A = this chain, B = another copy of it.
Amino acid sequence: MKSIKHQDLLKFTRQVFIAAGSEEDEAGLVSEYLVRSNLCGVDSHGVIRIPDYIRMVKDGSLRPNVVPKVVSSKGATARIDARLGYGQVSGKMATELAIEKAKKYGTGTVAVFNGNHVGRLAEYTLMAAEEDMIGIMMIKAYGTIVAPWGSRSGLLSTSPISFAFPGKRHPPVVGDFATAASAEGKVRVRYNRGEKVPPGWLLDAKGNPTEDPSDLYKGGSLLTFGQWKGYALNLLMEAAGGALTGAGVLESFTGLNGVLVLAINIAFFSDVDEFKDKVDSMIEQIRALPPAKGVREVLLPGDPESREMAKRMKGGIPIEEKTWDKIAEVARSYGIDVPKAR
């Protein structure tokens, strides 16, 4: 395992995207989101993605410097054609537009199609929370590795959902998770690290439960989280992120992420201070509970990420050698100096 300072990683990542053709703003945005994922401990959505992104730029499926196009804007809704640009660019634009709509109509709902990978969803729902809104993002993701509950064949994708809402004295509560038992990237991280996956994540090609991450890449499938409930939520992602946005479902799916982002303006429903006080009260009462056996303290969704961030801001970002080697190879192909990782 290597370790690298987040400032160095950010600067380096920015250079790579500029070398791959992005203008400064775009390179800055994509790098910021990726490195913040690593800072939060969500390594599956961090710089591990660089080689994939660059490969896609080279093969033309990801187009730098594209300006997403608002193809319709009616009432509290809008649709954006991401035109195969960076998902971070269209994701941010869609969220900003949803927030703008919500200021006028109380809610804003914006769909994105032809979109690439948006990265960690919490980036966007937290934008809404910072504007005193409840943010919700539903994604139809690429891939067919998730088995519908009761079947033994991959057909669905790991489609994630995120939501965030603000407190006053506390940072926002933020949920962000795959409707599969795991994001594919988390299986990949364990595969790269030579680790097992927990039971309940995977079926092998024959439909038997397995803890070997390599089985996923040999015809196996991921299970949905929470049995049939996560399966139902996964289908909502197909419908809202796939069919509704125009990105398509299953085999008709285009792009990497079909995105539906919702912003619900708290002020249209409640005194904002009162809402935040209630959230604070909830947070404080939860933290004060006695923990279960073997648990040190009761956490809120978002806590593990913010704690890891505090830790990694000081101590650096750990990256497994295999991942780092692949990233370094991409950088060297552009003649970029690879920063020292210890």
Contacts and interface: CB of A to CB of B under 8 A. Distances in A.
Interface in A116-159: 134, 147-153, 155
A61 interface: no
A289 B249 contact: no
A269 B246 contact: yes
A219 interface: no
B293 A235 contact: no
Contacts of A291: 150-152
A299 B150 contact: yes
Nearest to A103: B75
A17 interface: no
A243 interface: yes
The number of times this chain is found in the oligomer is: 2
A285 B250 contact: yes
A105 B75 CA distance: 4
Interface stretch (A2-10, A36-44, A222-230, A307-315): A222-230
Contacts of A227: 225-226
Given A292-B150, A298-B150, A75 B77 contact: no
A202 to B, nearest CB: 13
Contact of A238 (B75, B207, B245, B282): B282
Contacts of A105: 75-77, 105
Contacts of A269: 77, 79, 111, 244-246
Contacts of A163: 232, 236
Contacts of A196: none
A281 B225 contact: no
A20 B155 CA distance: 51
- The A contact surface, by secondary structure, is mixed
A264 interface: yes
Given A106-B76, A269-B77, A292 B246 contact: no
Contacts of A301: 228, 231-232, 235
A286 B153 CA distance: 9
B229 A246 contact: no
B285 A155 contact: yes
A270 interface: yes
A302 to B, nearest CB: 9
Interface of A: 72, 74-77, 79, 104-107, 109, 111, 134, 147-153, 155, 163, 165, 173, 175, 177, 203, 207, 225-233, 235-236, 238-240, 242-246, 248-252, 262, 264-266, 268-270, 275, 278-279, 281-282, 285-286, 289-293, 295, 297-301
Given A75-B105, A134-B236, 14 more contacts: A76-B106, A76-B107, A150-B298, A152-B291, A155-B285, A165-B236, A175-B232, A207-B290, A207-B293, A228-B301, A235-B282, A235-B300, A235-B301, A244-B266
